[in-house]
Copies of this chain bind each other. A is one copy, B any other.
Amino acid sequence: MSVPKIVVLGAGYGGLMTVKGLQKHLHYNEAEITLVNQNAYHYITTKLHEPAAGTSHHDHARLSIRSVINERKVNFIQDKVTAIKLDEKKVFLENNDPISYDYLVIGLGSSPETFGIKGLMENAFFIRNIDSVRMIREHMEYMFSRYQNEQKDELITIVVGGAGFTGIEYIGELVDRMPELCHEYDIPLEKVRIVNVEAAPTVLPGFDKELVEYAVKYLEGKGVEFITGTPIEECTTDGVVLKGGQEIKAATVVWTGGVRGNKLVEESGLETMRGRVKVDEYLRAPGHENVFVVGDSSLIFNDEGRPYPPTAQMATQQGQVLGKNLVALIRGGEMKPFKYMPKGTVASLGRKEAIGTVGDKKIFGGWAAFVKKMIDLRWLFLLGGVSLVLRKGKL
């Protein structure tokens, strides 16, 4: 007897949550579940700004996939997806044989969106995954270590492109880290420059004005320079050139200005916008009853017809619903439509400060920072229960 084959691509928030649902509800003999992921670990995207700045170790932002799945129910393949062939119902891998599916879940995440800015891909760094943030940290430290040898100010200048969520959270961590970093490399703290450049007229576009002002005031008080309403025109090996011609010499440029879907999804032939698939209410790709898309690979519009930004919160909720829907499908039941329920947003500004909204309440400062930590712990709880929270959680 053959059972349906469910293949989940990507162990991000969406993919992993789907798998958690499947392994919880399905019996051993109801489906063959395969999870494919490039790394042996899941990384906690919402925490990547910390290891990128070096305020926490990258091991705090990842956890072993095998430790949160049930390997008696889920077949985990650590490999890189090279192609998705929808007509053959097959997924091609770098080091393993192609795998067939009856139901496919695509949760392959995103890649940086450079908006065609010249030199950005080649010369900037991206807060993207464990490898990339570890490299940012090491790059910055190497540049700082050169300062006493070469005495060039650009070595200790950091430009952050983009003042969205990731950009601001990363800057908050940088500000926290600087005293220690300067001590380590015998650099006077006041010599360091952290410059945030944003094309939109304000920092944290779309965020509540009062919260934005709080964040800007706090970070400016720590010496951060904000340049808003000014796009980066070019990123060079020496720094950035802004629209209007101003040049900022900086050895470290980190781009946080946006993401687009994984190009494998585009290449699969699915219809995409910036690499993301506009899914239906059951998270299906248009025209493909058996192909589901979650997380940054998916695109969902709100009631005003604007796309929701890709967030961990969105992906987690998608995975929770999709897991149950797949169980229903397999058992001949009814799927439930997905409806995003925004629970609020909190942006950290380093370890002890944050801003955000929970429900319709604005929160600031230490309390917001605490709420942020609770949100992080909740994800660990969803993945691995109390034991994972105790093992990996950190207040």
- Chain A residues in the interface with B (C-beta under 8 A): 130-132, 134-135, 137-139, 141-142, 144-146, 148-149, 185-186
Contacts and interface: CB of A to CB of B under 8 A. Distances in A.
Nearest to A128: B149
B148 A138 contact: no
A141 B132 CA distance: 14
Contacts of A148: 131, 134
A88 B137 CA distance: 51
Contacts of A141: 138, 141-142
7 contacts: A131-B149, A135-B142, A135-B145, A138-B138, A138-B144, A139-B145, A141-B141
Contact of A145 (B138, B145, B186): B138
Contacts of A149: 131-132, 135
Nearest to A137: B145
A141 B148 CA distance: 18
A150 to B, nearest CB: 9
A142 B134 CA distance: 9
Contacts of A135: 142, 145-146, 149
Contacts of A137: 145
A135 B187 CA distance: 13
Please list the 5 inter-chain residue pairs (A to B) with the smallest Cβ-Cβ separation, ordered nearest first. A138-B145, A142-B142, A138-B142, A131-B148, A135-B145
Contacts of A144: 138
A254 to B, nearest CB: 14
Contacts of A130: 186
A43 B246 CA distance: 42
A126 B313 CA distance: 49
Contacts of A138: 138, 141-142, 144-146
Nearest to A135: B145
Given A134-B185, A135-B146, A138-B144, 10 more contacts: A131-B145, A131-B186, A134-B148, A135-B142, A135-B145, A135-B149, A138-B145, A138-B146, A141-B142, A142-B142
A374 to B, nearest CB: 30
A222 to B, nearest CB: 24
A66 to B, nearest CB: 16
A137 to B, nearest CB: 7
